[in-house]
Amino acid sequence: MPIEITMPRLSDTMEAGTVIKWNVKEGDSVKSGSVVADIETDKATMEMQCFDDGRMAAILVQPGTQVKVGTPIAIVALEGEDVAKVKAGGAKGGAAAPAAPAAKPAPVAAPVAAAPAPAPTPVVQTATRHGMEGFPVESDEGPRMRVSPVARRMAEDNGIDINAVKGTGPGGRVIKRDVEQAIENKSSAKTAATSISPAQALAVSTSGVPTASAPLALSMPGRDVALTGMRQTIARRLVESKTTIPHYQVTMKFDMDRLIEMRANYNEKLKSSGVKLSVNDFLVRACALAMAEHPYFNASFAGDHVRIHEVVNIGVAISLPEEKGGGLVVGVIKDADHKSLRQISADTKNLAEKARTKGLSVQDMSDATFTISNLGMFGVEHFTAIINPPNSAILACGAAVQQPVVRDGQLVVGTQMQATLSLDHRVIDGAMAAQYLASLKEFIEEPETLVV
């Protein structure tokens, strides 16, 4: 019988996925293990494999469509099955429904209005919330306001909170003209917001700072760019990190001359093997060894205790090309303190290549205990990074730059790099940060210690 391919759950937090592109067309042969589509999850763009041999009978979801996990997205006809019949059978079920950002409750039909009585007796309501329209209904939530059916329908259609509308009808009843006035007031407020000047915009919130509920609105023309699922996840996690973790930063400079000289010598000797070490490979190794000496840098805050991990896993931030949705993913080098520079280099290159082509798997991005973000390759000399939960620290590395330095009382030209730790103050205090950076400085400035 035909095989139904559904949207897979490709990460532990994935609720919906977007088909970026299909690598096969309807009628094409497919084999078990072949990559049939690229799927964007909430973390990365990943490849989706087929697990059966046959032909692609029907593609139910077009590229760019987001659907919930478990939704049918394609049908495969097995060997010997009629592709046309399988496709026709699949078409009867209809295409997969796109994932809705937020389900809205269906509007409840308004009860038929009764003529208002001179002195209506309140109806006591217990199990239900429906009374006769136009009369107050007593319930455990208090009296229900009086609204005409037409007014209620107009309010629902125009997004007006009927409870905020003051009624001018008999007995304070909300009638059509009250809702019309509310709609006009809402339109006027929206027009005023779009014409607000940048100086006036600072008065939007009582604190003088624009808020999510009262964003800045400018009258200049522009265009909206939809966030990908991964960009939405990045935005959500970064806001969560900055608002729930007490960040602080500590910066130190490192002399890089000896490390750079060692790297050049090693790369010359390893050229025939196709190995080329990067400065980042040395930094990963140095951070891992320093973490082994300072266990709280390999820990997570867990409410009423701190969890110190037994394995040192270094996360490396990898930038993605725009065709993969842009943004950053964090590939994880496992057991980094037990790996050589050559192993770290190979792991890093494999993760970066996979991230920019196939997409990283959940295992590739899981269980980092510390993260390194390196913008030095782009010429950035100094920056701070946001902690990647549940880590307690992230190291932001700048470029190694030649500059005047004082050594033994003499002004000379030296190569230095600035690195800034962002730290979770619930786990790591300032003295601990200084001790860790001192150990890191020793490993970097005496790079022979990284190979023994």
- Just list the catalytic residues: 425
d(CA 337, CA 115): 81
Q: What is the largest CA-CA distance in the chain?
A: 100
Q: How would you classify residue 335: left for phi > 0, otherwise alpha for psi between -120 and 50, otherwise beta?
A: left
Extract the tokens encoding 418. 């600035």
CB 146 within 8 A of CB 174: yes
- R_g over Cα of the chain: 31
Distance CA 39, CA 229 (A): 11
Strand-pairing partners, residue 249, are: 422
Distance CA 67, CA 72 (A): 9
String of b and e for 127-143 (b: at least 16 CB within 10 Å)? eeeebebbbbbebeeee
CA 2 to chain centre: 36
Measured in whole angstroms, the distance separating CA 268 from the mean position of its chain's CA atoms is: 41
65 touches 100 (CB < 8 A): no
**CA 418 – CA 254 distance, rounded (Å):** 6
Asked whether the beta carbons of 173 and 190 are under 8 A apart, the reply is no
* Pairing mode, strands 137-138 and 123-124: parallel
Can you tell me the distance from the alpha carbon of 39 to that of 361, in angstroms, rounded to the nearest whole number?
12
**88: Cβ contacts below 8 Å, ≥ 6 apart:** none
The answer to whether 385 touches 362, Cβ cutoff 8 Å, is no
Half-sphere exposure of 449 (CA within 13 A, CB side): 14
Whole-number Cα distances in Å, 103 to 106, 152, 237: 9, 21, 23
Two structure tokens written together for 406 = 């004082």
Cis before 390 (ω within 30) = yes
Query: Whose CA is closest to 67, among 39, 25, 104, 87?
Result: 39
Report helix, strand or coil for 414: strand
Cβ atoms of 219 and 195 within 8 Å: the answer is yes
Fill in the amino acid letter for 205.
S
